[in-house]
Amino acid sequence: MASRPIFVPNIDDMVVEEVKVNFRWHSGMSKTQKRKNVASLHEEAAKLGLKNILEVSTKSPNALGQSLSAMNLLLYINGVAVPLECAFQGSKVFEYGGPYVELFHRSPLEAKRDPRLSTSGKLIGFRFRGLTWELEPKSAFYDWLYLQALQQNRDLADQLLKYEGFTDIEYNPKKSYSTQARSCALYVCLRKMDCNIEQLIAN
């Protein structure tokens, strides 16, 4: 068994609700095994009344979910398309180095696996286009980046509004704080509350 969160936009309370669901885990690293885990997670969620859920990752069986993965979703910086994963990794500031902005122009896998990200000391914050972000609130910088990318890709973003919850099978809350699934739920919450997202993400 395993446990993963489902991120649900709670419009009444103006928050993203995190619902932990236990499900049968299928071991293995192949896409087939990952998709079995997605199906198992969503089946258990349905028993709790959580339906119409979108898996947001490269392992999603849904083309929209794949497109919204940080590995595929593009953020346009001065007219240049940068995978969101690269923008996130390339903005990290460590005790002894960073940000490594050259990672903006690598593939998402290369950026994520760059050895400097694990040999430059403790992560102390983020720096992106002259703006400095602290580590608290824990997912604030990632969410801010992701919301920018969604605003730039409204054809994808608009489709999120028909879903009631979001998962990311690759996300392990014991190892990280940021996930594209939470960012999607936050976007839906803001849209349905008629918030001015452009103003919220303005530099």
Residue 5 has a pLDDT of 96
Two tokens, residue 45:
């969620």
Residue 29 has a pLDDT of 83
Nearest to 62 by CA among 167, 149, 136, 158: 167
Residue 165 has a pLDDT of 97
> Tens digit of pLDDT for each residue in 44-59?
999 999 999 999 999 9
61-65, Cβ contacts within 8 angstroms, sequence gap of 24 or more = 61/35, 64/156, 64/159
Q: Where are the alpha helices (DSSP H) in 55-99?
A: 63-67, 84-89
Give the domain range for residue 167.
Answer: 1-203
Residue 68 has a pLDDT of 98
**DSSP secondary structure letters along 51-88:** -SEEE-STT-SSHHHHHTSTTT-EEEETTEEEEHHHHH
Helix pair angle (140-152, 180-192), 10° resolution: 60
Q: Which residue has the tokens 């099978």?
A: 169
Two tokens, residue 113:
């696996």
In the chain, how many H helices and how many E strands? 9, 9
Residue 203 has a pLDDT of 61
Rounded to two decimals, the pTM is 0.94
Q: What is the largest CA-CA distance in the chain?
A: 48
Burial of 112: CB neighbours in 10 Å, binned 0-12, 13-18, 19+: middle
What does the mean pLDDT of the chain come to?
95
Number of structural domains (the chain) is 1
Positions of the chain with pLDDT lower than 70, given as ranges: 203
**Whole-number Å distance between alpha carbons of 5 and 19:** 5
Residue 175 has a pLDDT of 86
Two tokens, residue 58:
């490269």
The residues facing 127 across adjacent strands are 132
State the CATH number of the domain containing residue 148. 1.10.357
Helix, coil or strand: residue 141 = helix
Length of the chain: 203
**Whole-number Å distance between alpha carbons of 200 and 111:** 27
Backbone angles phi, psi at 172, to 5 degrees: -115, 110
